[in-house]
Structure 1
Amino acid sequence: MTTEMPPPPAEPPAAAAIPSPPAEPPAAAPKKLFNPLLAGLLGLVVGAGIVGGAWAYTSRDTAPETFTLIGTFTLTEGAVRTEGESCRGNGGYDDIAQGTSVTVYDAAGGVAATGSLGVSQYSVGACAFVVTVDDVPKGEKFYQVEVSHRGKVQLSGKEAEGGKLAASLG
């Protein structure tokens, strides 16, 4: 065995012998997923759909069910006959006549609906009026009804919805 090492080559290998790294392809422009105009139109359509859907949802008819409160209001003092069989209040009751305001209050004391006294009928010194108040919201445990400013009469929700109002003054 020899301990000698072969002598190093006299010349370094030629540059042509070392392969050069592969050339990188030219950078390609990134692909656009959407044309900007198309993306804008798509955003407009989606936004309009969302706004339209929200509008349709919130504009649903959510009005509560209502009923017409009907009954009678009788003035037992100060009633005077007018034309034919109709009548009205006189003296301290001159605010009671056809067209006088009728206010219906809900159980919380808020105004639920308003109407007015209807036609009247005179009989033996008393004057009976028809009461009709439209669009009273259903579902209250009780209602209060006030004619003019003469105080409130309370009736149950069942009585009110069943046309059982019978109030009097005098």
Structure 2
Amino acid sequence: MTHRENETGVLAWNDEKLWRNCYEGMANDHFFFAQDAFGGQFCFKEDGIYTFDPEVGESQKLCDTLSEWCEAILDEYDFLTGHSLMHKWQATHGRVLEGQRLAPAIPFILGGEFSVDNLRAQQSVTAMRYRGSIAFRYEICLMVERSNLVLIIKNQENQFTSVNKRNCSCK
């Protein structure tokens, strides 16, 4: 399958080779149908609708039906979609193009802030692939938390973040 960076069809988005394979099985049994401003995914699983955190590869049940999902989005749109932060970012930087999401320069799981200064417009597929590598290495952060190791992580902009027992923000 070929990939155009702005391709947003739901079937193409669920193609294993597009980005899901970067999650080493963590995205199996999910059918992704929507995403928030930051690339957080909404997906169907066998027993309901879930959110999928792209940085840790974990899904959490949100509701049972599509109608309940619609209600949740309307009731909690800012929290579930990132609307207000997206709006602030666009007021400063211009609109986010089709096929892009706001990705953190310093990943949220590593202490990056949910702030305009920490966000960059990035192709959704590129962001998901990069974050898949973070999710796959999430266990490393958990190990760092229990040891005296220091982990140095380089992001896409060649900025470095050190993570050690004192500042690891893993769950």
Which protein has greater RCO, CA pairs closer than 8 Å, 6+ apart? 1
**Larger Rg, first or second structure (1 or 2):** 1
TM-score normalized by the length of structure 1? 0.23
TM-score normalized by the length of structure 2? 0.23
Structure with the higher strand share, 1 or 2: 1
